Amino acid sequence: KTIFLKDYQVPDFLIEKTDLYFSLDEDKSVVTATLSLRRNPAATDQTAALVLHGQELVLLTVSIDGQALSDADYHCSSDSLTIQKVPDSFVLQCMTEIKPQENTSLEGLYKSNTMYCTQCEAEGFRKITYYLDRPDVMSVFTTTVEADKERYPVLLSNGNNVASGDKDNGRHWVKWDDPFKKPAYLFALVAGDLEYTEDHFTTQSGDDVTLRIFVEPKDLDKCAHAMSSLINSMRWDEDVYGREYDLSIFNIVAVDDFNMGAMENKSLNIFNTSCVLAKPETTTDAGFQRVEGVVAHEYFHNWSGNRVTCRDWFQLSLKEGFTVYRDAEFSADMGSRTVKRVEDVSLLRTVQFAEDGGPMAHPVRPESFMEISNFYTVTIYEKGAEVVRMIANLLGPEDFRKGTDLYFDRHDGQAVTCEDFVKAMEDAAGIDLTQFRRWYSQAGTPRVAVEGVYDAAAQSYSLTVEQHCPATPGQEQKQPFHIPMAMALLGQDGALPLHLDNTANAGLEMVVDITQARQTFVFNQVKEKPVPSLLRGFSAPVKLSFDYSRDDLLFLMSNDSDGFIRWDASQQLGVQVLNEMIAALQKGEEPTVDPRLITAYRSILQDESLDKAMVALMLKLPSEAYMTEISDDVDVHAIYNARTLARLTIAKQLEQELWQALRNNHCTEEYQPSALQIAQRSLKNTALAYLMLLDTQEALDAAVEQFDHANNMTDVLAAFNVILNSGFGMQKQRVLKLFYERWQHESLVVNQWFMAQAVCSVPGTLEHVKGLMSHPAFDLKNPNKVRALIGAFCGQNAVNFHQRDGAGYRFLADQIIALNSLNPQVASRLLGPLTKWKKYSEASRLLMKAELERIMAEPGLSSDVFEVVSKSLKA
Ligand code: ARG
Ligand code: ZN
């Protein structure tokens, strides 16, 4: 059941050509695959049987070189087709029957509403036909799709449209030819009654590319942002990486039912509607940014993923980590760089650090797995991106570009490994990344403890650094990491010149390479006792600790030139204040808010020089998720109560300043998802949320006014959320009803409506959520709906999910059991909150564990759910 990286072997056979014919029909579809196979000269066993992957297929006929095989010539199991004796080179033809209309796993070929579509990554192609469904088997594909012309006027696949025609029975067909070799996971097919918007892009070489976004007719008004994001991505990848698009057509299709965000199929990207559709009236600022980021991500995969792909799924981060790094830099260039960095670090520190500390911890390049779908994780994606970022910073922009050029050039058309990526970087830059490679093989978040000692007489400042990485499942002992720590020393009038170990002035900021378990860096000619500014820009994915006084943190908050450090200092101050309050609550004492926090927030609110988005971010106390991540014996209710009380106190004491922020940031221009407007709205809505805690009529009036009259979903939803979380019952009922009535025909807005209710912190939310499960708009088969209601309640509403009687846990386990047979990938992902059971205080812990055991006892568990539950119970 478990597959190991160390067991990797090259494939016994190669598939030169793949020709597919799909006949799509309402009761069943028939796939005819004609494969030109030959033995792989590099395989060790030159007499091996042919073993093809295949699942949930009905084999109709199979032939070799035109000769039908008899029953004795082959063997079918539930996941393979074996043919013992085959020539060294031959044409295999298989006809199989599938039922896309019954496929609720949303993997392979399935129906979303009235449209056929595919999702093949990672191992979905084997649900379409028998094949060598592994990424190191690359083939050129031709695909013919035949279907009823009236119901499915649009028939798409990868590459170029090379032929089409009508049949006499009301059916028609289109043939597609993809000239680039690709693994089966990049195959795609779409058939539906779709319309498109079109634009064009001229590459640096002067080639014209037709860009189309296919949607259901009602969504044609929501494609403009994705289109401009696509054009910006294409230009950016040329400018920054020298990467051009390589076909004359690039298609995007939006589908409602999709397990993930989107998929980079060659020239036919398929997107979750939530990651492609956007217009101001229905989409929040965050939604606009997500569309931009995901469009770029999938487009960038054309080089980092498709032209150069992965040898095996242990190398997944080769394409995902690198591509996330690329899309993050793109988004930073399009909007506010600091804000993007803060958002990404927040995600890493909450979700990824939690994964590193939990039962599913795995390295960026895992060594084993049961079900690869479980490894599309924040570790592979986001930590993988941090590892690439560290490489980019170690090399510097010029050498990093040389490195990526060499990587793309050397491995174009190949299926390669993370090691090949690192090697290209080393070769291009002439540096040694031997120790750095541990970031790929060792799981867990390194702890870095730093101590600073100032010697006034010697005018020296020494930083002693200790690193240590806790054990993770299967990895007891860790070797020291190579941790690049960007740093500066701040004096009262700004950064001090750095003379490390008596060397010449290294400037005002430098990167020190931490490579040992313990080491000391001595800076000379330090004229005053500095406040160190450590891990600037979050230069490595570690937990850094330094014993800052609250005054040091206040100093960093208002003086550091690094926006990330300013924000981080505000978070550290918030953590100290909240921890003090939590301790008081637990001792039954009256908690108080350190007045220095209030003073700091006041000066942030009044600081005209700060980016407004940064003001909004710095005014947010550490999230419940972050407070949970950094504590070992989590008391959910104490965290919630301390945070709520702190927020109320802030609102009371800064009421005037908050009103000012609310009034001064009312935007009257036409909606734009620009950094400037987004910043204004986020500050205004942060202020509104604080003010609503005061339960005043003025605050309610402001929220209601915004809900009723705002021209964009960001403001409408912000108002909706604060009203739902308030004590104003009548307004609550009114906006709940009004919002649904106004938006019931926009599925994505209905998702927001579900989510707002699911994350509501008022008591009784669990019963309310249960009620919503039978709302006509809810659909357990639609992953977006499941995530909006169940996922949001269990993952983002700690105080209600963890209600003391364990009813929240029971509810989640029930849903997982129901989803296990419908959609194992979604079921497995929902497990997240339960897998962290060991972190919680005893009463919760036992109740959570009992629910995991109940799931474990279910018959017919999918490999997806089985892997996560069994590892959670074992660890
Ligand atoms: N490669 C896609 C992306 O990151 C994600 C595909 C995920 N598929 C899955 N079965 N988990 O853009
Ligand atoms: Zn990706």
Amino acid in position 512: V
What values do phi and psi take at 403, rounded to 5? -65, -45
Give the pair of three-digit tokens for residue 486.
Answer: 């960007």
User: Average pLDDT, whole number, for the chain?
Assistant: 98
Q: What is the pLDDT of residue 837?
A: 98
Q: Closest by alpha carbon to 185, among 101, 260, 292?
A: 260
Distance separating alpha carbons of residues 271 and 294, to the nearest angstrom? 9
Ligand 1 mean position to 121 CA, how many Å? 6
Segments of 671-779 assigned E as strands: none
Distance separating alpha carbons of residues 598 and 618, to the nearest angstrom? 12
Ligand 2 mean position to 275 CA, how many Å? 13
Of 117, 187, 263, best ligand 1 pocket probe by most atoms within 8 Å of the beta carbon? 263
Is the CB of residue 22 less than 8 Å from the CB of residue 145? yes
Q: Is 122 in the pocket of ligand 1 (CB under 6 A)?
A: yes
Amino acid in position 17: K
Sole residue written with tokens 């028609």: 172
Task: Say whether the ipTM exceeds 0.85.
Answer: yes
The CA-CA-CA angle for residues 14, 8, 126, to 5°, reads: 55
Of 107, 121, 325, 787, best ligand 1 pocket probe by most atoms within 8 Å of the beta carbon? 121
**Helix 418-429 vs helix 384-411: angle between axes, to the nearest 10 degrees?**
80
Segments of 425-482 assigned E as strands: 447-455, 460-468
Is the CB of residue 378 less than 8 Å from the CB of residue 369? no
Q: Is the dihedral of CA 166, 172, 175, 176 positive or negative?
A: positive
Q: Is the dihedral of CA 311, 313, 318, 320 positive or negative?
A: positive
Ligand 1 mean position to 216 CA, how many Å? 23
Q: What is the pLDDT of residue 875?
A: 74
516-528 burial code (b ≥16 CB/10 A, e <16): eeeeebbbbebee
Residue 506, Ramachandran bin (φ over 0: left; ψ between -120 and 50: alpha; else beta): alpha
Number of C-beta neighbours around residue 202 at 10 A: 11
Mean pLDDT of 334-361: 98
What values do phi and psi take at 308, rounded to 5? -115, 115
Is the CB of residue 188 less than 8 Å from the CB of residue 157? yes
CB neighbour list of residue 177: distance below 8 Å, 6 or more residues apart = 141, 142, 159, 160, 162
For strand 139-148 and strand 13-23, is the pairing parallel, antiparallel, or unpaired?
parallel
CB neighbour list of residue 219: distance below 8 Å, 6 or more residues apart = 254, 273, 277
Question: In 3-state terms, what secondary structure has residue 313?
Answer: helix
pLDDT digits (tens, 9 = 90+) for 87-103: 999 999 999 999 999 99
Distance separating alpha carbons of residues 416 and 136, to the nearest angstrom? 8
Q: Is 298 in the pocket of ligand 1 (CB under 6 A)?
A: yes
Where does 619-674 have alpha helices with state H?
A: 624-629, 636-653, 655-664
Q: What is the pLDDT of residue 772?
A: 98
Atom 3 of ligand 1, nearest CA residue: 263
pLDDT digits (tens, 9 = 90+) for 394-438: 999 999 999 999 999 999 999 999 999 999 999 999 999 999 999
Q: Is 386 in the pocket of ligand 1 (CB under 6 A)?
A: no
Mean pLDDT of 51-74: 98
Question: In 3-state terms, what secondary structure has residue 136?
Answer: coil
Ligand 2 mean position to 428 CA, how many Å? 25
Sole residue written with tokens 């490894």: 375
Q: Which ligand is nearest to the CA of 260?
A: 1
Sole residue written with tokens 């300013």: 566
For strand 80-83 and strand 89-98, is the pairing parallel, antiparallel, or unpaired?
unpaired
**Which DSSP category does 479 fall into?**
P
Give the pair of three-digit tokens for residue 208.
Answer: 């014209």
What values do phi and psi take at 521, rounded to 5? -110, 125
- 161 strand-pairing partners: 176
Q: Which ligand is nearest to the CA of 324?
A: 2
**Which DSSP category does 34 fall into?**
E
Rg of the chain in Å (alpha carbons): 28
Q: Is 264 in the pocket of ligand 1 (CB under 6 A)?
A: yes
**Which DSSP category does 490 fall into?**
E
CB neighbour list of residue 729: distance below 8 Å, 6 or more residues apart = none
Q: In what order do the strands lie in the sheet with 58-64?
A: 67-68, 58-64, 89-98, 29-39, 13-23, 139-148, 171-182, 160-166
Ligand 1 mean position to 806 CA, how many Å? 33
- What positions carry a catalytic annotation? 298
pLDDT at 51 over 90: yes
Q: What is the pLDDT of residue 66?
A: 98
Distance separating alpha carbons of residues 594 and 573, to the nearest angstrom? 10
Distance separating alpha carbons of residues 438 and 539, to the nearest angstrom? 16
Q: What is the pLDDT of residue 389?
A: 99
- 164 strand-pairing partners: 174
pLDDT digits (tens, 9 = 90+) for 283-338: 999 999 999 999 999 999 999 999 999 999 999 999 999 999 999 999 999 999 99
CB neighbour list of residue 237: distance below 8 Å, 6 or more residues apart = 243, 244, 299, 300, 303, 326
- 514 pLDDT tier (thresholds 50, 70, 90): very high
Q: What is the pLDDT of residue 506?
A: 86
For strand 368-369 and strand 447-455, is the pairing parallel, antiparallel, or unpaired?
unpaired
Q: Is 263 in the pocket of ligand 1 (CB under 6 A)?
A: yes
**Helix 765-772 vs helix 747-758: angle between axes, to the nearest 10 degrees?**
150
pLDDT digits (tens, 9 = 90+) for 214-251: 999 999 999 999 999 999 999 999 999 999 999 999 99
Q: Closest by alpha carbon to 824, among 274, 79, 273, 107?
A: 107
Q: What is the pLDDT of residue 589?
A: 97
Atom 11 of ligand 1, nearest CA residue: 373
What values do phi and psi take at 602, rounded to 5? -65, -45
Sole residue written with tokens 């800076």: 523
Mean pLDDT of 205-220: 98
Distance separating alpha carbons of residues 763 and 805, to the nearest angstrom? 13
Number of C-beta neighbours around residue 858 at 10 A: 16
Helices (H) and strands (E) in the chain, counts: 30, 32
Q: Helix/strand/coil (H, E, C) string of 175-216?
A: EEEEEEEECHHHCCEEEECCEEEEEEEECCCCCEEEEEEEEC
Termini Cα distance of the chain: 18
- 609 pLDDT tier (thresholds 50, 70, 90): confident
